[in-house]
Amino acid sequence: MNIILLGPPGAGKGTQAARLEAQRGMVQLSTGDMLRQALAQGTPVGIQAKAVMDAGALVSDAIVSALVGERLDGLEERGSIFDGYPRTRAQAEALDQLLSDRGRALDFVIELEVDEDALVERITGRFSCAVCNAPYHDIYKLPKVEETCDKCGSREFKRRPDDNEATVRTRLGEYRAKTAPILPYYEQRGLVHRVDGMASVEEVSAQVDAILDSSISD
Ligand code: AP5
């Protein structure tokens, strides 16, 4: 199965993709994570992308589509979750080509519908363990023991440089201008399913699972 999780920054794409990977064995393909990994490794792509990401703008279509293409081979058995990709019409067309070259096709595009004001609070409060990446939030999910990761015991935490209010507002603007307009491209193929992204993580998970399971019962 190949699915796209579509929604503005903070909508919960990464949360759902990581859960689906853990529970269903599918593979999370997050272009944001790929770019951050490229930067951590000091590759030319990562270094070039940094300033664009820090400003909240979109990295070039050619770069992100090439990153996705490099990861796609060998995933046929497990299925793919596209998280944060595609983000433009050119990327949507590139993804179709990448999949058809491998004899594969999209099954679902799941749009997480959210209230933008709530997203700013969600994103600016987010932080994670610097060692194991366990996710936390200043308001909704603090570590059980102060400043100690619940999962691995580390006392080191990190925040993304693009998770400040000004950059989040730019990222939301980019989503409205360039990403939301690709929905009709998928709607006309009957692929789009909508989920209430303002519900609890458990409720969103149940809605996503119901969509994926609908293909099994078809
Ligand atoms: P990327 O890393 O993809 O960031 P994003 O799309 O802005 O999405 P986020 O990771 O911020 O949010 P999310 O929807 O995954 O939400 P999450 O689950 O974390 O991209 C970063 C940058 O890279 C871009 O700005 C761009 O520069 C570049 N880039 C990446 N892909 C690109 C592409 N294809 N083309 C061009 N450039 C690209 O949840 C957020 C928070 O909310 C968490 O704290 C979480 O715990 C919490 N939460 C999640 N669900 C719920 C819920 N239901 N209720 C309450 N809280 C919830």
192-215 tens-digit pLDDT: 999 999 999 999 999 999 999 997
For residue 172, the CA-to-ligand 1 centroid distance in Å is: 11
Task: Measure CA 116 to chain center.
Answer: 16
Confidence of residue 73 (pLDDT cuts 50, 70, 90): confident
Share of the chain above pLDDT 90, in %: 91
The pLDDT score that the predictor gives to residue 92 is: 98
Catalytic residue list:
13, 87, 126, 160, 171
With a 6 Å cutoff on the Cβ, whether 143 touches ligand 1 is no
The pLDDT score that the predictor gives to residue 190 is: 96
For residue 218, the CA-to-ligand 1 centroid distance in Å is: 31
Task: Measure CA 28 to chain center.
Answer: 8
| Mean pLDDT calculated for residue range 4-24 | 95
Q: How far apart are CA 31 and CA 67, in angstroms?
A: 7
The pLDDT score that the predictor gives to residue 140 is: 86
Neighbours of 111 (CB within 10 A): 19
Mean predicted lDDT score pLDDT of the chain: 94
**Cβ pair 192, 153 in contact under 8 A:** no
Asked whether residue 76 carries a pLDDT value surpassing 90, the answer given is no
Q: What are the b/e assignments for 176-200, b being 16+ CB within 10 Å?
A: eebbeebbebbeeeebbbebebebe
User: In Å, what is the CA distance from 58 to each residue of 61, 124, 140, 148, 175?
Assistant: 8, 19, 29, 34, 9
Q: Pairing mode, if any, of strands 80-83 and 126-129?
A: unpaired
**Cβ pair 3, 82 in contact under 8 A:** yes
**Single-letter amino acid code for the residue at 105:** A
138-160 tens-digit pLDDT: 998 999 999 999 999 999 999 99
| More confident call, 218 vs 161 | 161
Hey, what are 216's tokens?
């099994």
Q: Tell me whether the omega of the peptide bond preceding residue 86 falls within 30 degrees of 0, making it cis.
A: yes
With a 6 Å cutoff on the Cβ, whether 29 touches ligand 1 is no
Asked whether residue 217 carries a pLDDT value surpassing 80, the answer given is no
